[in-house]
Amino acid sequence: MKRTLFLILAAVIIGCGSALAQQFDFGTALKNGTFDQGVGHWQTYASEHKVYDGKDLNYAESFFTPAFKMADDPQRFINDATLQIDAVEFTRWQGGIYQVVNVPPEAELWFTLQAAAFSTGQDTQGSITVLAGIDPKGGNGCASAVWSDPYSIGHGQQAGLASRRIKVGSEGRATICIQGEAQYALYKNALFVDNVKLEGKGGLALPQPGAPGGLGVMGVIVTQAPPDPALAGLVGTPAAPASPNTPPGGQAGAGDPALSGLTGAQDPASTGGADGWLIVPAVGLLIVVIGWTLKQRRAR
C-alpha cells in the first residue's frame, strides 16, 4: 500500500513538474516585430486635424494623415527592414501602429523598440515625439492604452524606448501600441521604427497564439475564440474622449480629442483568446491508478 501511495505521489509531482517546466514564449506572441513582412500583423491609425486662421490653413497646428511604409534609404535602416512614418512636405502628422497579442491572463507585460528620426529645417531638435503603450484588455485600438512618457528624438538620432510594465487582464489579450508625432511643420519629418520586442512574466493560463487549440504551460489546453471581423476604413470617425492615461505635458495619445479622424483596419490574425482549459497532471495520476488496479486483479 505504501509503495502504491508513493507511486501516486511521484506521478503527481512528475506531472506538475513537467508542466511547470514549460515556459510561455512572450517573444513569439508579437508578430513581425522586425518588419521583415512589411506592416503585416500591424494595424495603423492616424489623426487628420486641420486648423484654420480665417480662410488660411494653419500648418503649425494642423495634423495631416501620415503614410506607413518601409524605409527605402539604407542610411535610415535601423536593422535591415525598417518601418517609416511620415507625411507630405511642410506638414505635421500624428499616428501610430498597434497589434493585439494573446498572452497569459494576469501576466506582467512590457515591450521595447528602437526608433530614429530624420528631419530637415530650422528646428530639428526633438522634432519627433514617440510613445509606447499597452492596453491590458486587448482592445482593438489604443484609446485605452497606458502610455509611457513621451520621448523626443531629433534629426539623425536613434533611441531605445520601453513601455511601462502593465498587468494584463483576465482576457489574456493585450494591445501593443506605438505612436509618433511630428512636432513641427518641417520640409521632411520622418519616424523610423524597428526591433519591437515583447517581454513578460507570470500569468495563469498560457495560450498558444495563432493556433486553434494547443497545450500551454501549467498543463493548460487552450481553445482560441474566432477572430473579430475585419474593420474597414474608419475614416472620419470621432475619437474617444481623452484617456486618463494620456502622458503628462499635453502629449496627445490615441483616444485624445485631437485625434479627430482615426483610420485603421483590424487584422484577424492578431485576435483570439482562451476559453477553456484542462489540467494535465491528473492524467498521470489516472494512469497510475488504472495500472495499480489491474495489478491487484491479476494478483487475485
Question: What residues have CB less than 8 Å from 56, skipping those under 6 apart?
Answer: none
CATH topology of domain 2-299: Jelly Rolls (2.60.120)
Q: What's the CA dihedral at 245, 248, 251, 256 to 10 degrees?
A: 30
- Per-residue pLDDT tens over the stretch 142-182: 999 999 999 999 888 889 999 999 999 999 999 999 999 99
- Per-residue pLDDT tens over the stretch 200-222: 999 885 445 454 433 333 323 33
Tell me which H or E stretch contains 146.
strand 146-147
Q: Nearest-5° angle of CA 70, CA 71, CA 75?
A: 160
Instruction: Give pLDDT, residue 226.
Output: 39
Instruction: Give pLDDT, residue 238.
Output: 34
Which long-range contacts (C-beta less than 8 Å, at least 24 apart) are formed by 224-228? 224/102, 224/272, 224/273, 224/274, 224/275, 225/271, 225/272, 225/273, 225/275, 226/272, 227/268, 227/269, 227/271, 227/272, 228/140, 228/266, 228/268, 228/271
Grid coordinates belonging to 31 = 508578430
Instruction: Give pLDDT, residue 38.
Output: 95
Q: Which residues of the chain have pLDDT under 50?
A: 5, 12-14, 16-21, 206-207, 209, 211-280
Q: Where are the domains of the chain?
A: 2-299
CA pair distance 231, 4, nearest whole angstrom: 58
Tell me which H or E stretch contains 101.
strand 92-102
CA pair distance 21, 237, nearest whole angstrom: 47
Whole-prediction pTM: 0.63
Instruction: Give pLDDT, residue 264.
Output: 43
Q: Nearest-5° angle of CA 125, CA 186, CA 162?
A: 50
Grid coordinates belonging to 110 = 512590457
* Residue type present at position 77: F
